[in-house]
Structures are given as structure tokens and as C-alpha cells.
Amino acid sequence: MPRPRKNKVVQCAHFAWRLTNRHGVWYADGRSNTPNAGRHSLGTNDESEALKLLPELDRVRAEDLGLVSRSEVRSSPAEPLLLEEGRELHEDYAARPRVAGGVRASTRKRYRSILDKFIPFAAEQGVTVWNGVTAQLLTRYAAHLESKGYAHKTLVNELTTLKQVVRWLIGAGHLPGMKPIALPLKKAESQPAYCYRCNEVQAMVQRCRTVASLNWMGDVVISLACTGLRIAELCSLRWSDIDLSNGHLRLTDETGHANNGQTRREVKSGKSRSFPIHSDLLTVLQKLTRRDRYIFHGPRGGRLKPDTIRRILVREVIEPLAKQFPTADGERGFIHGRLHSFRHYFCSTCANNGVPERIVMDWLGHADSEMIRRYYHLHDEESRRRMDSLDFLGTAGGRSVSEAEDKYLKEDIEPHPKSDGGDDTTTEQ
């Protein structure tokens, strides 16, 4: 049989499809139809198999676009489920209303990125249907990701998601006769974000205050250091969230609020929280000009964007200060600090100054103390200070008990010396 032309058009029951080949994988392009049937990968590098799979894709798209009724359960137990078709079924399920258990848009985006990588890999392995997704295939996929330099945590997250997709397809009746994939995954403790030191935060604030174009970034740095807010939470802060007269901040989750035509804020934990405003943050808030409903604005006066803040923080603040706070080869140091490092800094500062764990959990919005312990970092300087405050031998050690107590109290009351860099714009809590 002669090889058909690359752009051969095949008329199926509902749509006309133009077949194309890209990097060895066959695609069906139905965008010229009315309604638009879209462009889809057939998940195979074999042309004859692509032609066999085309009628099934045609039926699925007709169901999706409401041209024919959709069957809740597939008609034939032996009928294979195309990878793209199963993907669309799962995406529809994930996109259901939040009240019915649907997930956030950010989670759906993460699902898409995982399947964007997995489906082409499976096609290269000759697997075009979910019925062929096995533990052996996922193991090969893990080896593939590892060879590309992906971190261990990424491998665990991606394989767990794929196992969950298969489990849902089975439970929803789309893969009758299949069993969930049995592939135990070994979790490894990932490297936590770098935790800033007090003198490093002071130096960052000092730089932002001495460079006129970075003054807005100084407000962001102080606010993150004094609240432990996630950057998305800080960007969404409104004047209605704060009570300057009483010095209190309330971060409200608006998932269940009525739709008033404006973006409803979703807090990651799903629960609102409130906490007192630190005096350093209060000073920042009192001098800000009210431009609109949002408190913080970017360098040009527009809404803050997390990615923009991250890039400018690294390029204009962290990198210029890197020589002042050098990082040893093979270790994590100041140069590796990012926006989330302020959350670690806030938690560690609170813990080192005796704030009870329960209160820190409330301030950060965590119901599990395990996450608080993950955020906590004990730097060498703080460890030394605490050790020196202890008295193991009393007078036999060459100092009196009263001297040890005086040293401990003095270190807890007096601020750290200025010799560790920068002015005292941001103080420890």
C-alpha cells in the first residue's frame, strides 16, 4: 500500500481530519470543522494505527462538543481508552465546581504539565492507550526523567499523579478490568528553602532604601519578613484586610463568598487567618499611598506579580549583595535565597524568640506542626548563643549562676550588634 500524503484528509462520521506527522508522532487536525474539533495527538508513530484510532477520536470529540450523547461507561469492556481521551475525561473531572470537590486552577495546570510530558514519552514507547500504562512503563518514565536531571521530588510527584489518574479512570468505569498500578514510591526529604539571617534581611532593606527604583521592593521585603506571608497572599492584600488603628491584619479566604464580579481570593489552606501587625510593618503601611483597593504595587505602579518580584529580587538585590554574604562551594547560602525564604525566616525568628508553636501555626495558617518544624532553621550563631546561655557547672565552672543568668537575659533583651551588616531597619520579632 503506497504511503499516503502527509496532510491527507480523512472524513469520519462527524468531522474531517487532516493527518500530520510531527517528530514521528501522528496528529489529527480538526480545526477547519464547524464546530472546531481541535488538534490532537494520536499517540502513535505508526500511520496505519493512527488511521484506526481516528474514528474513536472523532466520536469522543463529537461527544465533547454535544453533537452526540456521551455514555457514562464505555460500551465495550475490551475497548481501549486513548491517552488523549482519558486525559480529557480527567481534566473535566478536575475542573468540576469547587463545591463538588474540584481542584484549583493552579493544580489543574500542574496536571496538564505532567501529562504534556508523559503522553509523548508513552507514544515513543509504543503505548497509546491507558490500558497499556503499567508499573513497568512508569518505571521507565522515572528513569527518563532522572536522565533529564529532574529532582527526586519531581519524580515522586509526577508518578503519584499518573497513578492517581489511572486510579480515577478505573473508579469511573473507563478502564474496566484494570487494577490500580502497584508501584511503591520512595519519598526522600527535599532540600528546604534557604533561611535568611537577620543581618542579611537588614542588608536587603538597606539596599532597597538606598536605590530609589527599589524602594517598593524594600516595602515587600519588610512585609514578607514581618508576616511570613506567601508572595501570592502579599500580592492580594487589600486595605480592607488591615486595621491600622488596632494594628491587626486579617487574610480572608473568599472561596465561599458571593461572586461580586471581582476575583475571589483563595488562601492555600482554605481557611482565613488573622494576626497582629508588627511595628516595623505598621511603619511601612502608614506611609503608603492608597491608589486602589490593593496595598502593594510594582515598580510602575501596577499590580504586583510574583514572578516579577522574584526576578527583580534576585537580579537587583540578592546578586549584588552576594559578595557581602559569600556561599561556600557545594553549600546553600544567601545567593540561593528566594521569596519563600522569608517565610522560613519569619518562622525561625519567632521560634528563636520563644513564640509558642501554636501561635506560629496560627500566624502562618498551618494546622500541622510538622510544617512549622520544616520551616524552622537553627543557624550556628543562634545555636552558639543558646549554648553559651546555659550553666552546667555553676560556680565550679568559673562563673556564678547570677552571671550566667545576667548574660542570658542581656542577650535576649539587647539587640544583636550592628557589626553583622546593614542598619537596623528590620528587627527580629
Q: Which of 232-236, 299-303, 342-346, 382-386 has the lowest mean pLDDT?
A: 382-386
**Are the C-beta atoms of 86 and 130 separated by less than 8 Å?**
yes
What structural domains does the chain harbor?
Answer: 1-70 (no CATH), 74-190 (1.10.150.130), 198-255+263-420 (1.10.443.10)
Mean pLDDT over the full length of the chain: 80
**Are the C-beta atoms of 153 and 188 separated by less than 8 Å?**
yes
Q: Kindly report, residue by residue over 37-46, the tens digit of the pLDDT.
A: 888 888 777 8
Give the strand order in the sheet containing 248-251: 242-243, 248-251, 273-276
Categorize the per-residue pLDDT at 309 as very low, low, confident or very high, splitting at 50, 70 and 90. very high
Q: Kindly report, residue by residue over 8-26, the tens digit of the pLDDT.
A: 888 888 888 999 888 777 8
pLDDT at 213: 92
For residue 336, give the 3-state DSSP assignment.
helix
pLDDT at 416: 44
Q: Which of 51-55, 90-94, 215-219, 369-373 has the lowest mean pLDDT?
A: 369-373
Categorize the per-residue pLDDT at 114 as very low, low, confident or very high, splitting at 50, 70 and 90. very high
Does residue 410 register a pLDDT over 60? no
Residue 136: closest CA among 175, 182, 78, 81: 182
Q: How far is Cα 17 from Cα 22, in angstroms, rounded to an integer?
A: 15
Residue 231 or 102, more confident: 231
Residue 255: partners with Cβ closer than 8 Å, 6 or more residues away? 98, 264, 266, 270
Span 25-52, average pLDDT: 85
Q: Which contacts qualify for 213-219: CB closer than 8 Å, 24 or more apart?
A: 213/299, 214/312, 214/316, 214/317, 216/296, 216/297, 216/298, 216/299, 217/299, 217/309, 217/312, 217/313, 217/316, 217/317, 218/425, 219/284, 219/288, 219/296
Q: Which of 92-101, 216-225, 257-266, 290-299 has the lowest mean pLDDT?
A: 257-266
**Percent of the chain scoring above 90 in pLDDT:** 26
pLDDT at 312: 94
For residue 420, give the 3-state DSSP assignment.
helix
pLDDT at 108: 87
Does residue 141 register a pLDDT over 90? yes
Residue with cell 553583622: 420
**Are the C-beta atoms of 295 and 276 separated by less than 8 Å?**
no
